[in-house]
Amino acid sequence: MSASSPYVEIHSLKKSFGLKPVLRGIDLTVEAGERAALLGPNGAGKTTLLRILAALTKPNGGRVSIAGRDIVEDAQQVRSLVGFVAHQPYLYDELTALENLLFFARMYSVRNGRERALALLSRVGLERKAGERAGTLSRGQAQRLSLARALLHSPRLLLLDEPDTGLDEEGNALLETFLAEHRSQGGTILFTTHRLERALALSDSILMLNNGRVVYRRPTHELEPESVRQVYQEVLR
Amino acid sequence: MSFWTQVWAILWKDVRCELRSRQVWLGMGLFALLVLVIFNFAFDLRVDNKAAVAPGALWVAFIFASLLGLGRTIAAEREKGSLDRLLLCPVDRKAIYLAKLLGNMLFIGVVEIIALPVFAALFNIPLFTGPLLLIVLAGTLGIASVGTLFSAMAAATSARDVLLPILVFPLIVPVVIGAVRATGVLMVPAGPSPNEPPWLSLMIAFDIIFLSVSMLTFEYVIEE
């Protein structure tokens, strides 16, 4: 990847499930170090877009590259660059919090995996829960553990699908701290949310997706909150 | 991380989860024992027809119990969403297949270790010989290799419990025939007839075919 090329490049991306088109030709770029918020009504294609970027779902058409690597042909390299937080924690309930992190540390070949896992457990405030099974954690605690797992291998691109689901105030503050840290280290972030205020506060650019297409994109610093609120209400209708 | 380290890590995780939840092993084991007990009462097992009936009863118990476990292997992970998390990792899909296969063989193997002495006692057959272990191993590999692949396929559908046996039974017929006949040969005191086909070799050949095809196609089955 050259120094000037975007970190995430999407050209004419299409995805259908059966006969139902979900993404109808997305063109989008996200620069390295940028925090982009993805808004849109339910069924707009936000989660599908993130899943494709995480090399979890294959597109039907178009081209997507992350750090210059094609997400279909170089899927394994792309996966090692990406950290993904879904709106559900998706942990192994029978494993303890620490065992969950250790397992994924091995999957991502994290050096000093145990030290890294323990440090992250401490960062998300779960050091006392390290030996407890993930299935016994509260929804918010499980989401924090999910956040720690996503950061385990120090990914360059964070994909967050409604990451604040189930988080309390303290958890949300923690999430914001992690996002700020990730950005200060040059990391790129793409996150979905239904909360416009949150999107405005945490992002450098606002993207709106509707009916499988990007219908709005503006840098956050150029936006008047009231005008963007009106646009968002239009999109939601 | 090397391929085998990935296989080991996933296998360790699956075994640990199963040891703590005990969802699959207990169900499979009890089911196999119940089938053997029912067959013992259902069939007229005189000395002259034991070799014809007993191997079939044993393998039917193994296959039905195996399908109970195979159905849960990937379906449980998919239902919980943790399969997506595993697929997000930069892990060779063949490593995931092999780990799941080895886990299934381990679960089925434990059930067989419990069921074999019960079978020997109920049917009054001295079975514990070296060749029997080889036959059981080859039969288990055949069932598990096909079953692991199709459990991944069936897990993506809502009718997985019905679909899995429909997909797996026809494909494992050659291995089942070989396993039943090879086990039957062990029960004939006079030894195998000269015209008896080399059942164990045939089973191993089918195992190699099933394993190779399953490993090559698993990636396309598991990914969206």
Interface of A with B (CB under 8 A): 51, 54-58, 76-77, 79-80, 82, 84, 86, 88, 90-95, 99, 103-104, 106-109, 133, 149
User: Strand, helix or coil at A62?
Assistant: strand
Residue A88's Cβ-count burial label (10 Å; 0-12, 13-18, 19+) is: middle
- Residues A91, B87: C-beta atoms closer than 8 Å: no
Question: What dotted CATH number matches A8-90+155-236?
Answer: 3.40.50.300
Residue B47 has pLDDT above 70, yes or no: no
pLDDT at position A3 = 52
Mean pLDDT (whole number) for A115-127: 95
Name the least confident of A76-80, A211-215, B48-52, B86-90. Answer: B48-52
User: Strand, helix or coil at A42?
Assistant: coil
Local confidence band at B45 (pLDDT 50, 70, 90 cut-offs): low
Mean pLDDT of all residues belonging to chain A? 91
Greater confidence, B40 or A72?
A72
Distance CA A86, CA A150 (A): 10
Residue A54 has pLDDT above 60, yes or no: yes
Distance CA B197, CA A137 (A): 58
Mean pLDDT (whole number) for A139-158: 94
CA B125 to chain A, closest CA, distance in angstroms equals 40
Residue A107 has pLDDT above 60, yes or no: yes
Q: pTM, whole model, 2 decimals?
A: 0.90
Mean pLDDT of all residues belonging to chain B? 88
Local confidence band at A75 (pLDDT 50, 70, 90 cut-offs): very high
Distance CA B219, CA B224 (A): 10
Distance CA B218, CA B96 (A): 9
Task: With beta carbons under 8 A apart, name residues in chain B contacting A92.
Answer: 13, 17, 82
- Residues A51, B1: C-beta atoms closer than 8 Å: no
Task: Bin A214: left if φ > 0, else alpha if -120 < ψ < 50, else beta.
Answer: beta
pLDDT at position A4 = 59
Percent of all residues in chain A with a pLDDT value above 90, rounded to a whole number: 70
The closest CB to that of A84, out of B16, B20, B88, belongs to: B88
Sheet holding A213-219, edge to edge: A82-85, A157-161, A188-192, A35-39, A205-210, A213-219
User: Strand, helix or coil at A66?
Assistant: strand
Local confidence band at A231 (pLDDT 50, 70, 90 cut-offs): confident
Residue B96 has pLDDT above 80, yes or no: yes
pLDDT at position A88 = 86
Domain spans of chain A, in order of start: 8-90+155-236
CA B115 to chain A, closest CA, distance in angstroms equals 27
Q: If you measure CA to CA, which chain B residue comes closest to A149? A: B85
Per residue in B117-156, pLDDT (tens digit) is 888 888 877 766 778 889 999 999 999 999 999 999 988 8
Residue B25 has pLDDT above 90, yes or no: no
The closest CB to that of A107, out of B20, B89, B224, belongs to: B89
Mean pLDDT (whole number) for A42-67: 94
Q: Which residues of A135-162 are buried (b: 16+ CB within 10 A; e: fewer)?
A: eebeebbbbbbbbbbbbbbebbbbbbbb
Say whether residue B222 is in contact with chain A using an 8 A CB cutoff: no
Taking only residues 91 to 130 of chain B, the set having a beta carbon closer than 8 angstroms to any beta carbon of chain A reads 91-92
DSSP-derived secondary structure for A103-136 = HHHHHTT-TTHHHHHHHHHHHTT-GGGTTSBGGG
> Which residues make Cβ contacts (< 8 Å) with residue A48, sequence separation at least 6?
A15, A22, A23, A57
Mean pLDDT (whole number) for B19-31: 84
Distance CA B119, CA B32 (A): 10
Query: How would you classify the pairing of strands A35-39 and A205-210?
Result: parallel
pLDDT at position A236 = 76
The closest CB to that of B90, out of A57, A79, A92, belongs to: A79
Task: Bin B44: left if φ > 0, else alpha if -120 < ψ < 50, else beta.
Answer: beta
Local confidence band at A1 (pLDDT 50, 70, 90 cut-offs): low
Per residue in A10-41, pLDDT (tens digit) is 999 999 998 899 999 999 999 999 999 999 99
What interface predicted TM-score (ipTM) does this complex get?
0.90
Per residue in B181-223, pLDDT (tens digit) is 999 888 776 777 777 888 999 999 999 999 999 999 999 998 8
Percent of all residues in chain A with a pLDDT value above 70, rounded to a whole number: 98
Mean pLDDT (whole number) for A212-229: 87
- Residues A54, B88: C-beta atoms closer than 8 Å: yes
Mean pLDDT (whole number) for A130-139: 94
pLDDT at position A206 = 93
pLDDT at position B32 = 87
